[in-house]
Amino acid sequence: MMSEVGGESCPLRVAIIGAGPAGFYAAEYLFKQKDLNVEVDLFDRLPTPYGLVRFGVAPDHPKIKSVSKVFDRVASKPGFRYFGFVELGKEIEVSDLRNYYHQIVYTVGAQSDKYLNIPGIDLERSHPATEFVAWYNGHPDYRHLSFDLSQESVAVIGIGNVALDVARILSRTIDELRVTDIADYALEALAQSKVKEVYILGRRGPAQAKFTTLELKELGEMADADIFVLPREAELDELSTASLANTDRGTVRNVEIIQGFAQRGSTGKKVKLHIRFLVSPIELVGDEEGGVASMRLAHNELYATEAGTLRPRMTESIEDLAVGLVFRSIGYRGVPLAGVPFNSDWGVILNTEGRVLNQDTQQPVLGEYTAGWIKRGPTGVIGTNKPDAVETVKHMLTDLASGNILQPAHPSAEEAELFIRERQPMYFSYADWLLLNEFEVSNGQAIGRPRLKISRIQDMIEARAASRHTD
């Protein structure tokens, strides 16, 4: 008689692709199942785990990063293995995974950004904020970038939390940044920064900003930056005022904080941080060398759609803002994985509640699932990925119970490891990551910093070899 998958003698074998929060939360919920014998192999294209917790969360937010302790606990479960530096679509393919696993979960996040289609957007010194974020966080693929911080005036387009992160990092003093794990080259570059004016630009009003309250408040508490909001832009129009009656507490608090900022004046701090509302960039104007010299803004008003959403509409009023550096912070966007159905309108894997759907039949694809930003889009905070992953895993368990799982030819941990090693002999295990982690922390502490991130993959390989040697 065939033994039951997930039972004592035949573990359910799951491959999770992408070692960010969604991947770890999916693994955590699988290990929580009392009567399930499960083995999870978690893959990442980079040697280091944690995804956006390492490369997205701002370095001056160490508390948010401490969620990595939860991930380390998941990684310590028997049955968990990590395969870092193994990329789906490069070293391994979906068809390979079907030979070794009963279920596959894609948790690759949103690796690109939304495009802002206005004249001049591709001028020099106009960048996606996502690239700046990855750069200052020491992401191996972005470490080579450079940003012209000799410009005095910078615009950040968008009023979400990423825009706040970018504006804060640009406005912090070097002493504030030194005590963080910001990449060493970014610290050096920011130490030379000439930035004096930072404009955060929202196309809608204070009641439609996507900020979380703590992050917004923090903007008014910077060591050497004053916050400015124009009183006329802090005032709500009638539609927004009415909308407050049916909104969440966070939005009401945000409006109060923004109106409080509007009452403040200069205290003579070095950087002037402005949040502007109801303005849409309509053109970036270049200088003779092809770099951004200014931005043309249209003033907006709000109108209600049939569904009741308040949308921006341009008026005839135009303004020119002199800025020499622009960051577009208007949202991340998912990128398709080869062989995995994709909804290109939304930038997510085609799925319903985490079950991947066949593009033609719209029926679930056997054994394939998704969680996190590549499932639902780039919304919510880290914790949002937990219920999101749970929803997916619940469907995986239902499908397991009804026998709707893949029938891999080699459902064995040893054979999977041999295969992966053949494709990527340099793969990083979790033990390797923990060595690298210790190495980064001790190098940081030696110079009074919490961590000195290694940002070159070659350096990670060498650090691992050196650490193994000394053990």
> Which CB sits closer to ligand NAP, 161 or 171?
161
Q: Minimal distance in Å, beta carbon 344 to ligand NAP?
A: 17
Q: What is the DSSP letter of 4?
A: P
Whether residue 170 contacts residue 191, with contact meaning beta carbons closer than 8 Å, is answered with no
Q: Which of residues 264-293 bind ligand NAP (CB under 6 A)?
A: 280
Stretch that binds ligand NAP, among 90-98, 192-200, 220-228, 328-336 (CB under 6 A): 328-336
- 3-class secondary structure, 367: strand
Q: Name residue 342's beta-bridge partners.
A: 349
Q: Which of 84, 202 has the CB closer to ligand NAP?
A: 202
Task: Please give the helix or strand (H or E) that residue 327 lies within, else none.
Answer: strand 325-328
Residues 136-165 that bind ligand NAP (CB under 6 A): 157-163, 165
Task: Please tell me the number of Cα atoms within 13 Å of 63 on its side-chain side.
Answer: 2
Cα gap 50→373, rounded to integer Å: 14
For residue 195, the number of C-alpha atoms closer than 13 Å in the C-beta half-sphere is: 31
List the beta bridge partners of residue 15.
41, 104
User: Residue 289 or 306: which CB sits closer to ligand NAP?
Assistant: 306
Residue nearest to ligand NAP (CB): 160
d(CA 406, CA 98): 7
Contact segment (CB under 6 A) with ligand NAP among 71-79, 257-265, 323-331, 454-462 equals: 323-331
Does the protein bind ligand NAP through residue 131 (CB under 6 A)? no
Closest contact distance (angstroms) between CB of 142 and ligand NAP is 16
Compute the distance between CA of residue 238 and CA of residue 96 in angstroms, rounded to an integer: 58
Restricted to residues 393-452, the positions that interact with ligand NAP (CB under 6 A) are: none
C-alpha neighbours within 13 Å on the C-beta side of residue 338: 10
Q: Which C-beta is closer to ligand NAP: that of 30 or that of 155?
A: 155
Q: How many residues belong to the site for ligand NAP (CB under 6 A)? A: 27
**Are the C-beta atoms of 332 and 378 separated by less than 8 Å?**
yes
**Is 62 or 291 the residue whose CB approaches ligand NAP more closely?**
62
- CB closer to ligand NAP out of 197 and 215: 215
The DSSP symbol for 92 reads: B
Phi and psi (nearest 5°) for 124? -65, 150
Beta-carbon contacts of 43 under 8 Å, excluding residues fewer than 6 positions away, are 15, 16, 17, 18, 19, 83, 84, 86, 88, 92
Q: Which of residues 103-122 bind ligand NAP (CB under 6 A)?
A: 116
167 lines the binding site for ligand NAP (CB under 6 A): no
Helices 385-401 & 21-32 angle (0-180, nearest 10): 50
From 19-27, 247-255, 282-290, 330-338, give the range in contact with ligand NAP by CB under 6 A.
330-338
Q: Measured from the CB atom, is 72 or 218 closer to ligand NAP?
A: 218
Interface mask toward ligand NAP for 63-92; x: CB under 6 A: -x----------------------------
Among 179, 304, 381, 418, binds ligand NAP (CB under 6 A): 381
Amino acid at 16: I
Binding site for ligand NAP (CB under 6 A): 61, 64, 116, 157-163, 165, 202-204, 208, 210, 212, 215, 280, 329-332, 378-381
